[in-house]
Homo-oligomer: A and B are copies of this chain.
Amino acid sequence: MVASQLAAVLSKLQTLYSDHASVVSMNLFVALLCASIVIGHLLEENRWMNESITALAIGLCTGVVILLTSGGKSSRLLVFSEDLFFIYLLPPIIFNAGFSVKKKQFFRNFITIMLFGAVAKGSVRGWLGVIKFFKEMDIGSLEIGDFLAIGAIFAATDSVLNQDETPLLYSLVFGEGVVNDATSVVLFNAIQSFDLTNTNHRIALEFIGSFLYLFLASTLLGVAVGLVSAYIIKTLYFGRHSTDREFALMMLMAYLSYIMAELFYLSGILTVFFCGIVMSHYTWHNVTESSRITSKHAFATLSFVCETFIFLHVGMDALDIETWKFVNDRPGTSIIVSSVLLALVMAGRAAFVFPLSFLSNLAHKSANEKISFRQQIIIWWAGLMRGAVSMALAYNQFTRAGHTQLRCNAIMITSTITVVLFSTVVFGLMTKPLIRFLLPNSKVTSAPSGSSSPKSITVPFLGSTQDSFEDSPKGVQQPSSIRALLTTPTHTVHYYWRKFDNAFMRPVFGGRGFVPFVPGSPAERSEHKLPQLQ
């Protein structure tokens, strides 16, 4: 029964690809992807642009051209199916985020996640005011679930900070971005599964429980799959030269973790993220040198292509005529909604960053460890961008039937596009100059080689244990500074974790032997070092 149903759908799909028009679209899309990469490369030294904005701009231009040639009918080459996004595009991006995240900074931010969870819980009530406002705007039949969804949608942040120029700020904002994306998706799934026609305490508690269950179960699944992959590769493959099998197994296991999470109605995005972290900590060290280089670069490239694809598509989609025509009769409403959303994003981010920075500064005595106000501004600013994940969530919530038939949904879509475009382009364009203005010495003081950033940049954000996670190769080369750090009393949790890791985890799951410090993750070993290590 299911099989015949699938057969019917797949035969439709086959008509789709047999259709010559879609071949033209695919050609154009792949060619545009190539163009984005080449132009992005040429504009690399430009102080205003970055790859996301380039892809967005190319998408917009193409949209205009298609709109003109098709006589105003459509601006899209491919219809953005959120399943295309969730099945194919998102897993590589999030997996690579986990695979290449600097574990040191990420686990410091783990407390942020919990705080964010609390903030999100509080925001459920905060949204009630927004709901009242939208009700008065009379934009249609939005339900309370939609409003919670809007909150989750705009919790997903994106970042364009440069890892080489401002390594710590990048890690803070990027690590947060990934966590926000994940939290967003988890929240979103939790919201979707609830009947939120009326809110009371019982439902709120159930919601929190559901959120925590999703979060913990997804994390555990990801860790479990990652450990299984490490164990299999260590037990069967160690020392043999079957590079392709190793890499194939890593890829398939990572994807398996994602779809297994979907199977159990968990959050695939969180699962694949933690699977990536575990794989970079254990599995990556169990494979041959060739597989290490291959996996590091291939995952990064896949993620890069998927991101470019999404930005290209968002740019093209911004001109989608079917959505805009619902808005045309009342352009004021759309502008107001977009502005309100943008203001909420900025205010929400400010309400999140500045108090937490204040708390963090209170906990630290030395001036070096404090986050300066200028750095707070950058953390706030760089987190304002709403990117591909917001888009996907918006589409998932508001275009159930494939297209936007209801006016309120159309307004929500256009507003999301407006916020994404505005925040990416305006905030994105301003980020590089802003960093140069606020932290004029950042490029000079931060070494381009990576993790040995000076103290003026390595500000703690939240944790008091920021440097005991020194997991870069640099740590091994600088025994004096590390010993100084080890003597500080703030590293207990990580000290015991490392002890546990060395005593129980590594003998079973591999990793870089019994080296005292957490071995370099793929992100932390520069390219030119790899060949000599063999």
Contacts and interface: CB of A to CB of B under 8 A. Distances in A.
A298 B299 CA distance: 10
A84 B18 CA distance: 11
A132 to B, nearest CB: 33
A465 to B, nearest CB: 32
Contacts of A252: 30, 33-34, 37, 305
Contacts of A12: 9, 12-13
A161 interface: no
Interface string A232-265: 1000110001111101110111011001101100
A76 interface: yes
A404 B290 CA distance: 45
Interface in A517-534: 527-528, 530-532, 534
A247 B298 contact: yes
A275 interface: no
A218 to B, nearest CB: 15
Nearest to A20: B263
Contacts of A44: 242
Nearest to A303: B244
Interface in A9-27: 9-27
B82 A14 contact: yes
A290 B260 CA distance: 32
Contact of A294 (B33, B76, B245, B293): B293
Given A30-B256, A248-B304, A259-B30, A7 B527 contact: no
Contacts of A528: 534
Given A252-B305, A298-B247, A298-B298, A8 B402 contact: yes
A2 interface: yes
Nearest to A236: B41
A1, A11, A401, A532 pick with most chain B CB within 10 angstroms: A11
Interface string A391-435: 000000000011100000000000000000000000000000000
Contacts of A14: 81-83, 402
A530 B534 CA distance: 11
B301 A248 contact: yes
A6 B79 contact: yes
Contacts of A37: 245, 248-249, 252
Interface string A317-339: 00000000000000000000000
A76 B5 CA distance: 13
A144 interface: no
Contact of A21 (B2, B7, B17, B289): B2
A362 interface: no
Contacts of A26: 259
A1 B290 CA distance: 49
A300 interface: yes
Contact of A73 (B3, B31, B82, B293): B3
Contacts of A73: 1, 3
Given A3-B79, A15-B9, A301 B244 contact: yes
Contacts of A115: none
Contacts of A402: 7-8, 10-11, 14
A5 to B, nearest CB: 8
Contact of A256 (B11, B34, B245, B300): B34
B27 A6 contact: no
Interface string A294-322: 10111011001100000000000000000
Interface in A272-298: 288-291, 293-294, 296-298
A440 B5 CA distance: 53
Nearest to A44: B242
B34 A22 contact: no
Contacts of A232: 38
Nearest to A80: B10
Nearest to A533: B531
A530 B527 contact: no
A14 B22 CA distance: 17
B531 A301 contact: no
A78 interface: yes
Nearest to A298: B298
A260 to B, nearest CB: 6
A508 interface: no
Contacts of A305: 248, 251-252
Contacts of A40: 245
A74 interface: yes
A259 B297 contact: no
A531 B289 contact: yes
Contacts of A86: 17
A307 to B, nearest CB: 11
**Closest 6 CB pairs between A and B?**
A11-B402, A531-B531, A294-B297, A3-B74, A298-B298, A17-B83
Given A6-B25, A14-B81, A248-B301, 6 more contacts: A24-B263, A34-B256, A41-B242, A251-B305, A294-B296, A531-B531
